[in-house]
């Protein structure tokens, strides 16, 4: 379980095909400050959210960790497009008693959205995204959504498009600074919206 508050931006160091090339192993370099300066203390088997995807640490060094990803995850998330040099958002799993500053995020990606616009708006930037119709019904104004693992508040909804505002601090400390129109992002809808929709099926 995560909060959607990114604590560092990592860099993909290596991408190694495994399982006859269908699965992949990623070696990810971590920042050298804050909680990531002690990556050697991360236990094998620990969960780390990597741009919104909950992945398991299978090996680690002083400034890196490695994960393995299945073919299905590669095909359904942005991970399939990662290459050496890709910037990814990192968050370690929530501990009991930690401050819940964002919203509850599971690290299970529901689908992909596409960046359609980035428009300066006062001191921030309004980002707009296009969602698949099957996911759009779960997104509501002032509701929560995780984009590449970042907990954000939805400011507008227009059919299958929605918008959020990104302040400079968020852009600087996440991989939003490296995104452009046309790029795809990982989306996790608010789990409360998912369960409400499921309950309505039986109403």
Judge whether 8-92 and 111-200 match in fold.
yes
Please tell me the predicted confidence (pLDDT) of residue 153: 95
Please tell me the predicted confidence (pLDDT) of residue 19: 77
The answer to whether the CB of 164 falls within 8 A of the CB of 145 is yes
Please tell me the predicted confidence (pLDDT) of residue 103: 82
pTM for this entry? 0.92
Give which of 31, 41, 36, 35 is closest to 10, Cα–Cα: 31
Query: Please, which contacts does 120-124 make with residues 24 or more away whose CB atoms are closer than 8 Å?
Result: 121/165, 123/167, 123/168, 124/165, 124/166, 124/167, 124/168
Q: Domain 8-92 falls in which CATH fold? A: Elongation Factor Tu (Ef-tu); domain 3 (2.40.30)
State the Rg of the chain over Cα. 17
pLDDT of residue 40 exceeding 60, the answer is no
39 vs 15, higher pLDDT: 15
How confident is the model over 143-152, as a mean pLDDT? 96
Please tell me the predicted confidence (pLDDT) of residue 97: 67
Q: What is the pLDDT of residues 46-100, one digit of tens each?
A: 999 999 999 999 999 888 999 999 999 999 999 999 999 999 999 998 776 677 7
Q: Tokens 């616009």 appear where?
A: 117
Mean pLDDT of the chain: 91
Q: What is the pLDDT of residues 104-137, one digit of tens each?
A: 899 999 999 999 999 999 999 999 999 999 999 9
Number of H helices, E strands in the chain: 4, 14
Domain ranges of the chain: 8-92, 111-200
Q: Classify domain 111-200 by CATH architecture.
A: Beta Barrel (2.40)
Give which of 104, 13, 96 is closest to 59, Cα–Cα: 13
Q: Which of 21-30, 143-152, 190-199 has the lowest mean pLDDT?
A: 190-199
Q: How far apart are CA 143 and CA 163, in angstroms?
A: 11
């Amino acid at each position: 379980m995560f909060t959607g508050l990114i604590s560092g931006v990592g860099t993909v160091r290596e991408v190694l095909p495994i399982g006859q090339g269908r699965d992949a192993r990623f070696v990810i370099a971590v920042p050298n400050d804050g909680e990531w300066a002690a990556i050697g203390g991360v236990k094998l088997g620990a969960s780390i959210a990597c741009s919104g995807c909950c992945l398991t640490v299978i090996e680690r060094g002083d400034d890196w960790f490695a994960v393995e990803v299945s073919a299905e995850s590669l095909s359904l998330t942005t991970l399939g497009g990662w290459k050496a040099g890709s910037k990814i958002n990192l968050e370690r799993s929530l501990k009991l008693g930690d401050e819940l500053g964002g919203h509850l995020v599971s690290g299970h990606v529901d689908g992909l959205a596409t960046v359609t616009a980035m428009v300066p708006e006062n001191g921030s930037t309004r980002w707009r995204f296009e969602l698949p119709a099957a996911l759009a019904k779960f997104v509501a104004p002032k509701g929560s959504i995780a984009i590449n693992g970042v907990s954000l508040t939805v400011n507008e909804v227009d059919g299958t498009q929605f918008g959020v505002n990104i302040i400079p601090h968020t852009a600087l400390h996440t991989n939003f600074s490296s995104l452009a129109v046309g790029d795809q992002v990982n989306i996790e809808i608010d789990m409360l919206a998912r369960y409400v929709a499921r309950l309505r099926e039986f109403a």
